[in-house]
Amino acid sequence: MRPLEPISQKAKTVLGFSFFVLFFMAWAIATLGGFVPKIFLADPLTMVSDGWRLLTTFNFGIDILITIWRVVGGFILAAIVAVPLGILMGAYKPIEAFFEPFVSFARYLPASAFVPLLILWAGLGETQKLLVIFIGSVFQIILMVAVVVGQTRRDLVEAAYTLGAGDDGVVRRVLIPMNAPEIAEILRLVLGWAWTYVIVAELIGSSTGIGHMIIDSQALMATGQIIFGIIVIGLIGLVSDFAFKLVNRRLFPWRLA
């Protein structure tokens, strides 16, 4: 190994898969070997059995789909608001000066702290859960997009003005195309954070979703079901992350390896 030395895609796959193999081996040894009581940590076989029972007997697949809908819905709402505002803040310094102090303040506020207020304002329905994800995502996207757009090479902007572009033309023909790959990468990263917010939203006042199943399993001390729910979230997030990377590579092959 050498610093920053690239490796082949096959090596990446083998190394990544090897970690999961070692992780599950250590988990199996710790639980099946009796080193950790099952009441605190279910073994892999119990987890698989409990997960299969959830899917076949308790319609857990419906809960998974509902959670996915909440994540995607809240995230899309956040992106619709955040990306244009972030571009405007990065492009126009007066707009940045107006919004940046509030956005910097708001992005440190934990989305979970808003849950009691959102229940009061929006009830226990889907709106409340979408808003938790929206609040947790929107300010992060705004600031990250603004930073990326604000760091656009000045010589490209000056070249556009020299060629006769106006202010709007610089934004549409230089700033947005130049930074589109980075903006797409920002959205990919924040989508991962959105999954943490949906569980927070579903832990309180929810009758459906993966988070609801996890909190019910806690009351029953069913650690196998809890672990299965956590693994399902991780797998869905992993699939969505790979899908995002694939789309980004297809859209911006010259920027994303």
Q: pLDDT per position in the chain (257 positions), as tens? A: 778 788 888 888 888 889 999 999 999 999 988 888 888 889 999 999 999 999 999 889 999 999 999 999 999 999 999 999 999 999 999 999 999 999 999 988 888 888 888 888 888 788 888 999 999 999 999 999 999 999 888 888 888 888 887 878 888 888 888 899 999 999 999 998 888 888 888 877 678 889 889 888 888 888 999 999 999 998 998 898 888 888 888 888 766 44
CA proximity to 179, closest of 84, 107, 246, 95 = 84
C-alpha 233 chain-centroid distance:
11
CATH number of 56-251: 1.10.3720.10
CA proximity to 67, closest of 58, 75, 77 = 75
Domain ranges for the chain: 56-251
Crossing angle of the two packed helices 223-251 and 44-57, in degrees rounded to 10 = 80
H/E run at residue 5: none
